[in-house]
Structure 1
Amino acid sequence: MASQLDIPCLDCRNPAGIDDRPYVLLCGNQLQLQATGRKAPGPVTVDFVGGALAHRRKYGGGKGQQIAKAVGIRSGFYPRVVDATAGLGRDAFVLASLGCDVMMLERNRVVRALLADGLRRLGEAAETDRELAEIASRLHLCETDISAVDWLAQQAAESLPVVYLDPMFPERGKSAKVKKEMAAFHQLVGGDEDADALLEPAFAACYYRTVVKRPRLAPLLAGKKPSLSLEGKSGRFDIYTKHGIPH
């Protein structure tokens, strides 16, 4: 794995005793991204089976969720979605659990390895859980280093029903405080400084709409005004529509 990801293999060292690297990958029953040092917070992993995503799958509000409205889900219509900035795959899993077929793009090799490990464990759990099996069949990972901008630019015009974008927004000020356990992830990924370049190829490739998830007070992606926005307490969905959703 170290060879595949082009990172050094540190063998069996305790992350608490490492001070020359900010984070490490721990291999075991599940792949974990762990910050180093004595007071480091807990690890980051992709868990599509339990934890917060299991709770949201069961009690999250179904088609009434803003993300469902944003991508255009309605009874009998579950568009295919390309999540071009998958990250830890949480929104992609929610969309798959709601009935959409979702392709995840993630350019960071380490994050992509975390996603692949999460999908592996989802597949194992799906062997004895019909609901998870249906979700697993709709959730896919693009195994390539190509950037989302280049991948989208290679797609035929209007060939993707919905493109979903959630670029990492550079955190500033007090609102910049991220959950401690996510510190290593943010340090690894950083802010998507080239995020503005995503909108044009995404909109060219989509048929129905491109959806951009942003912090509530963040500027518009690429400065482009959306067709409409859905705003929540801490975030919003900017929706750039092309063709109408079928009724």
Structure 2
Amino acid sequence: MERCTVVIAESQTLFRDMITSFVEDMDDLRVIGTFKDGQEVLQFINKVEVRPSLVLLDIHMPTMDGLACAKKLREIHPEIKIVLLSAFDDEESIESVLSVAADGYILKSASLDEFKETLHFIINGRFVAPQRLIQTFSRRLTQLIKLEQENSIYYLKEQLHNSQHINKREWDIIQLLKRGWTNRMIAEKLHISEGTVKNYLSIIYKKLEIRNREDLLRMLTDMAN
């Protein structure tokens, strides 16, 4: 079986040597380079014939940190799997990790068995991260799904009491209005005049038994809460 080639970047010599030793103990992995910052990693990868299959990057390094290196690697070598290493799982660290399309995230407090198991999972195509990071991903995904649902025409139709009286054109206008669009923007989008938009809004207000745009936006906001 062909061994997976690995590059390691860690600013602290002792910890870099420890990680290298852990990886080399794994029969299916082979370390082909160790470095103290991300810049050295990029220079190495650009000049060698055998590129790494996996790169382990400490988030906090001088010259070029792990996040900057990961972003660059993702642009020029998207096939390389990237694992970020950090001693922290605070909110700020999690936010920074979310901005990088890494394949995994390992805390330096992980046990040796956890470290090796995580690398195997990542090599086999699974994303692995600490529980707190996974929870943050899950929360963000839930928020995105909720936002998408709330902006859908079907959600609005279900929520408005008099939905059976609103035609498609009126629903289009309500949906654009909910996004904060002006009458002019709505008119340009729907290829109608501003006057026609105002006429439609007057009809919508009458059907929903409200007075103005503010009442409609308040109604939509209340439905989202």
User: What TM-score results when the alignment is normalised by the length of structure 2?
Assistant: 0.35
User: What TM-score results when the alignment is normalised by the length of structure 1?
Assistant: 0.33
Q: Which has the larger radius of gyration?
A: 2
- Structure number with the higher strand fraction is 1
- Structure number with the higher helix fraction is 2
Structure showing greater relative contact order (alpha-carbon pairs closer than 8 Å, 6 or more residues apart): 1
